[in-house]
Structure 1
Amino acid sequence: MTGLLRHVERSFDRRMALRRRMLAALGLQAVEDETDALCGHVEELRQTLLGCAACTRTDLCAGWLDQGQMGVPLFCRAREAFGSLQEANAAQCSAGRAARPERVLEAVNE
């Protein structure tokens, strides 16, 4: 059973690493307080967690990110949620309150 648990843990860790890479590729960063651009989008952040946790196309996702493709791929289970977050961030950018890129994604991954 220990080997199975390690496999599951590594698989989950890989999916979450890909999720963090996708967030970064889309210019989305941390949500640490109510002044951050994405603080009001907890449900969308949750949906990215669920979608990535259930992903069956991690190799395609990694390849997409490695190639530096723009946007979210059509095969992504969390495509709609990532899109909503990207729109929210863009709206904050135009209002002059975008998420700061130097922040770490810690709060988003809780």
Structure 2
Amino acid sequence: MTDKAEDRIVEMTFKFIDGNTEEFAEWLQKIGATIKRRSKDEIIFDGPSGVGTGLFKGIDPINAAVCIGFAVAGVFWLFVFPNLLKKVEKEWKERLKQRRRI
């Protein structure tokens, strides 16, 4: 279960990073988050854990994933999603390699 949840958070982290805020917002609502404010450049929300956070255009993937993990699982997010940051870092590095090839 945790592995699938981590993979989904990684996917949604990069949806936001890539500017697909509509799909990201839909996912937030599906998991029980409450969106407080939203524009094309930011989204402020309370996660299902009750923790409020926000993501802004230009945030790096690691910080975005930390905010999402914290909002989803609360203060114990790192124990609930122990491989989340490694997975985000791996995807980020792969994307950077792809950019360099272009």
TM-score, length of structure 1 as denominator length: 0.30
The answer to which structure has the higher strand fraction is 2
TM-score, length of structure 2 as denominator length: 0.32
Q: Which has the larger radius of gyration?
A: 1
Q: Looking at both structures, which has the greater relative contact order when contacts are Cα pairs under 8 Å and sequence separation is at least 6?
A: 1
The answer to which structure has the higher helix fraction is 2
